[in-house]
Amino acid sequence: MASLKDIKIKITGIKKTEQITKAMNMVAAAKLRGAQARMEEFRPYADKFASVMGQLSGTADPNVFPLMEQRDVKKVLLLVVTSDRGLCGAFNANIISASEKFLEGQQSEGKEALVGCIGRKGYSYFSKSKLEMPLHITDVMGDIQMQDARKAGQQLSKLFLDGDVDEVDFIYGRFINVVTQKPTIKKLLPISATGLESAEGEVAEEEGPKAAYIYEPEPEEILNQLMPMYINVQIMAAMLETGASEQAARMTAMDNASRACKDMIESLTLAYNKARQAAITTELMDIVGGAEALKG
């Protein structure tokens, strides 16, 4: 059995760890509130954007717009959106393993797989792999800005337009609720009319009044302007969701850690008390034994 002193040192150490995990839990909770609010503020913008795009793309001819061009897919790029920091449980590991699975699936179909990364965790993982990585953006998840999403959007559009890749997908940690975050894969490029066109968009066109929009300038031109923005909006939404999910995951992970610390302290205190009792008993026996011997 470990000595009294050893146990005491262990208990103090774990108590300190518990303090840290507790503090991190509280910080994550506060940050989660902010991240969730930003995500919810962004949603009306993204929703409106998607509905207008859906409305317009019905009139669009995919051959006119380079960003909508469907090619024979030979090269696929997956944009992996992860967090910059760790200590959030299996959150990033889940995203990365889902990415690996997707990339392997693409490779087994004979396509070439590339990756792009937003967030340092994904970057440090994939920079060790053999996959080509044409873009990576790190240290932006702490304060998510539209310009970072725009930067990624522009680079990806360029890769697509130059023919360096034929399809772009992205994976992010979708925020379902505080305890559930799910790695989700979505298609970014080419922008497909079928993906945008909501079922009701089609019906509305036939109903008449809704479709009778005045377009200024022509619908094609509006689309041309909106498409790059739409890509940015999608990336931005993915970043915001990942940001909120990260904090939620960290909160849960730190809560678990604090609880584990508590359990450990409890069992160690028990062991400590037992050892103390044993030490006292041996001492008493010694004294009693000594007294007996003197008497004799």
Q: Which of 14, 17, 22, 49 binds another protein (CB under 8 A)?
A: 49
Beta bridge partners of 136: 117
Residue 196 sits in the site that holds another protein (CB under 8 A):
no
CA atoms of 244 and 32, how far apart (whole Å) = 6
Q: Is the Cβ–Cβ distance between 14 and 271 less than 8 Å?
A: no
The residues in 72-91 that bind another protein, with binding defined as CB under 8 A, are none
As measured in angstroms, the least distance from the Cβ of 55 to another protein is 8
Q: Is 16 in the site for another protein (CB under 8 A)?
A: no
Which residues are bridge partners to 140 per DSSP?
none
Whether the CB-CB separation of 81 and 123 falls below 8 Å is answered with no
Q: Which of residues 43 and 101 has its CB atom nearest to another protein in the complex?
A: 43
Instruction: Specify the stretch interacting with another protein by CB under 8 A; choose among 20-28, 41-49, 267-275, 282-290.
Output: 41-49
Q: Of 4, 11, 131, 226, which lies in the binding site for another protein, with binding defined by CB under 8 A? A: 226
Cα gap 184→289, rounded to integer Å: 73
The residue type at 4? L
Residue selected from 16, 33, 48, 262 as contacting another protein according to rule CB under 8 A: 48
Length reported for the chain: 296
70 is a contact residue toward another protein (CB under 8 A): no
Nearer to another protein, 60 or 95 (CB): 60
Taking CA 125 as the corner, what is the angle to CA 120 and CA 129, rounded to the nearest 5 degrees? 135
When asked if residue 158 is in the footprint of another protein (CB under 8 A), the reply is no
Residues with a known catalytic role: 88
Per-residue three-class SS string for 131-148 = CEEEEEECCCCCCCCHHH
Is 200 an interacting residue with respect to another protein (CB under 8 A)?
A: no
Inter-helix orientation angle 219-295/146-161, to 10°: 120
233 binds another protein (CB under 8 A): yes
| CA dihedral over 96, 99, 105, 110, signed as positive or negative | negative
Select from 35-43, 85-93, 94-102, 280-288 the region that touches another protein (CB under 8 A): 35-43
Q: Rule CB under 8 A: which residues touch another protein?
A: 38, 41-42, 44-45, 48-49, 52, 55-56, 146, 209-210, 212-217, 221-222, 225-226, 229, 233, 236
